[in-house]
Structure formats: C-alpha cells, structure tokens
Amino acid sequence: MKTQKNSELIEGTFGLMKPVKDFLPKPKDLILKEDQVKVTLKLTHKSLTFFKRTAAQHKASYQVMIRRLLDYYVAQQ
C-alpha cells in the first residue's frame, strides 16, 4: 500500500481508501453493568470461545463483554 502525498488516502486493493480510526475497546474494557434486554443470538464457535476464554481470564461474564462490545460499536455510529 502507498500513502498519497498531502492526503489521508491510501492506495489499496480496491483503489484509494481512507484509514478508519480503531475505535474498538480492549476486551478488559468490556466489563461493566448496565440495563439490559434479553435476546437470542447465534455466534460462531470461534467467537464464543474467544469471549469465554477472555472473560474467564478477567473473572467476568462473556455475555457482558459481548454486550459492551456492541455498545461501543453503536456509540461510534
């Protein structure tokens, strides 16, 4: 990839692209309590394993971590 002079555009696979700031939080920052609504959600085994393993390392709930990740995403939109 090449960066264009005097611009934030980067030459990429699909032409000129603008870099997007990394707004996703670290897994440890996803552990907080808030009001909640119960839903059913299907996840890939890989994603669920990641959240369960990370939550166990921080002695937290994987459901709370997933909820916080979604909240961070929504706040950036």
Q: Is residue 16 part of a domain?
A: no
Q: Is residue 68 part of a domain?
A: yes
pLDDT of amino acid 54: 94
Q: pTM of the predicted model, to two decimals?
A: 0.55
Mean pLDDT, the chain, rounded, equals 82
- Please count the residues of the chain: 77
Q: What is the DSSP letter of 31?
A: -
Q: Is residue 32 part of a domain?
A: yes
φ, ψ for residue 72, nearest 5 deg: -60, -45
Amino acid at 37: V
Gap between the Cα atoms of 6 and 76, Å rounded: 27
Q: Is residue 45 part of a domain?
A: yes
Per-residue confidence at 42, pLDDT binned at 50, 70, 90? very high
Provide the residue range defining the domain that includes 56.
22-76
How many domains, the chain?
Answer: 1
Averaged over 9-34, what is the pLDDT?
76
Averaged over 7-30, what is the pLDDT?
77
Q: Is residue 5 part of a domain?
A: no
Query: What ranges in the chain are assigned the alpha helix state H?
Result: 45-57, 62-76
